[in-house]
């Protein structure tokens, strides 16, 4: 599917404000992909579709989690996470995207995971730093993104964990695993 058709399909799924966010994520993803040698076309398509399921009804997302083999622990996680793995299912089903790298980047753009691919890192980070975002710590992550993809993603994950902890919210295990993976790699202690 070409990007124009993809944007048209996504625009039907999102309110205007979220669509503008999506355009910012696309811009950031293309810049990051170019800077770090990641396939720009895949980054662009994953960015376009990253929030595809964001506004689906919770009962629909819950049923997809149950019916489509997604991890059962999602059902006990914060529902804000659901749109990413559900989105990957729906983008395959409704938009016909079959590329596993793109679908995986959509699936993990909210939680991260251990051993993230370069494309997954780009989409995770692009969602975090897109130009429309304004919250404590985002500028520091933007600065890091200009120097190191891994350091920027690690800082974004650390900020997310700290934020969730400050709100006494649950943290999905994949997010901890992602942080630990980056920390072990940074310290030279990664277990392969």
What is the per-residue pLDDT across 160-190, written as a single tens digit (0 to 9) for each?
Answer: 999 999 999 999 999 999 999 999 987 554 4
Domain range holding 34?
A: 3-134
pTM exceeding the 0.85 threshold for the entire prediction:
yes
Instruction: Write down the pLDDT at residue 185.
Output: 86
In a domain, 76, yes or no: yes
CA distances from 96 to 6, 29, 102, 110, 140 (A): 10, 21, 12, 22, 37
- Domain harbouring 98, CATH code: 1.10.3210.10
The one-character DSSP state at 76 is G
What is the per-residue pLDDT across 27-52, written as a single tens digit (0 to 9) for each?
Answer: 999 999 999 999 999 999 999 999 99
CA 162, 74, 133 angle in degrees (round to 5)? 45
Domain count, the chain: 1
In a domain, 160, yes or no: no
């Amino acid at each position: 599917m070409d990007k124009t058709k993809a944007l048209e399909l996504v625009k039907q799924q999102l309110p205007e404000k979220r669509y503008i966010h999506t355009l910012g994520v696309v811009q950031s993803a293309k810049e990051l992909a170019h800077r770090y040698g990641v396939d720009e076309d895949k980054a662009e398509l994953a960015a376009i579709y990253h929030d595809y399921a964001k506004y689906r009804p919770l009962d629909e997302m819950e049923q997809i989690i149950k019916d489509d083999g997604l991890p059962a622990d999602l059902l006990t996680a914060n529902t804000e996470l659901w749109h990413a793995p559900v989105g990957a299912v729906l983008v395959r089903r409704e938009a016909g995207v079959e590329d596993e790298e793109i679908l995986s980047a959509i699936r993990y753009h909210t939680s991260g995971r251990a051993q993230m691919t370069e494309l997954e890192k780009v989409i995770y980070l692009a969602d975090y730093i897109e130009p429309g975002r304004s919250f404590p710590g985002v500028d520091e992550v933007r600065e890091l993104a200009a120097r190191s993809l891994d350091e920027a993603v690690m800082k974004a994950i650390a900020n997310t964990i700290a934020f969730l902890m400050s709100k006494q919210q649950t943290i999905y295990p994949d997010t901890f695993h992602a942080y630990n993976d980056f920390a072990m790699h940074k310290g030279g202690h990664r277990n392969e």
